[in-house]
């Protein structure tokens, strides 16, 4: 009798992975086919660049800049459906709660990654290396973080440090790559944030 794969067994016992994989691949494929045909040429090129990084599994950090109404959310949903068609996991997070309602399975980044509210330049996310969340992050193919400019840079740095900690015992090839080789796409636009005026009150 064959010995079960250790990764498969641990994944089946992980509630977070089970929740993320609880979808119908055929429904996702139908949604993806419809959305992909509606992409503009520019959106299609961005889509192909991101999917190439996911397929190569070498990591990558992207930033999609665009004003409201330019199709960022539609592109997120298309990428989300494409990755799920392949039976993989994509995490949709946002910096603000209301925006998370626009994305399938959306959550705030603070909630998903347990980012501390009081951030410093040395902050870590509260992710135990043996937790279900750490297991979910290992299995995740892509992280989409919308409304990224709305949060302090220490939040991104905390996630970067935490992923290095979670994956530190694994292959060291990606040890110096941002976010330990996970493909992450940030999105948003800077006109939503207030101007920084030196010496202003």
Question: What does the domain layout of the chain look like in residue ranges?
Answer: 35-189
Cβ distance 148 to 188 under 8 Å? Answer: yes
Q: Is 170 helix (H, G, I), strand (E, B) or coil?
A: coil
* Residue linked to tokens 């870590």: 124
> pTM of the predicted model, to two decimals?
0.84
pLDDT for residue 5 is more than 50: no
Question: How many C-beta atoms surround the C-beta of residue 52 within 10 A?
Answer: 12
**pLDDT in the model for residue 181:** 85
Q: For 114-137, what is each residue's pLDDT tens digit?
A: 999 999 999 999 999 999 999 999
Q: Which two tokens stand for residue 140?
A: 């995740």
- For domain 35-189, the question of CATH label 3.40.50.920 is answered with no
What are the tens digits of pLDDT across the range 156-168? 999 999 999 888 8
Lay out the sheet containing 60-65: strands in order across: 60-65, 183-188, 140-146, 89-94, 107-108
């Amino acid at each position: 009798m064959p010995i079960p794969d250790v990764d498969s067994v641990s994944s089946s016992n992980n509630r977070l992975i089970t929740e993320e994989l609880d979808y119908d691949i055929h429904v996702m494929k139908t949604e993806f086919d419809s959305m992909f045909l509606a992409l503009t040429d520019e959106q299609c090129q961005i889509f192909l660049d991101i999917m190439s990084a996911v397929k190569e599994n070498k990591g990558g950090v992207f930033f999609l800049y665009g004003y409201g109404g330019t199709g960022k959310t539609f592109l997120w949903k298309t990428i989300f459906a494409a990755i799920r068609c392949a039976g993989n996991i994509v995490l949709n997070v946002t910096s603000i709660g209301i925006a998370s309602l626009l994305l399938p399975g959306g959550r705030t980044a603070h909630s998903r990654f347990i980012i501390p509210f009081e951030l410093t330049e040395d902050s870590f996310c509260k992710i135990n290396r043996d937790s279900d969340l750490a297991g979910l992050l290992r299995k995740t193919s892509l992280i989409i973080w919308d409304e990224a400019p709305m949060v302090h840079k220490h939040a991104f740095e905390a996630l970067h440090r935490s992923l290095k900690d979670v994956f530190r015992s694994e292959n060291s090839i990606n040890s110096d790559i941002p976010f330990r080789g996970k493909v992450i796409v940030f999105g948003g636009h800077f006109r939503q944030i207030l101007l920084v005026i030196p010496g202003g009150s």
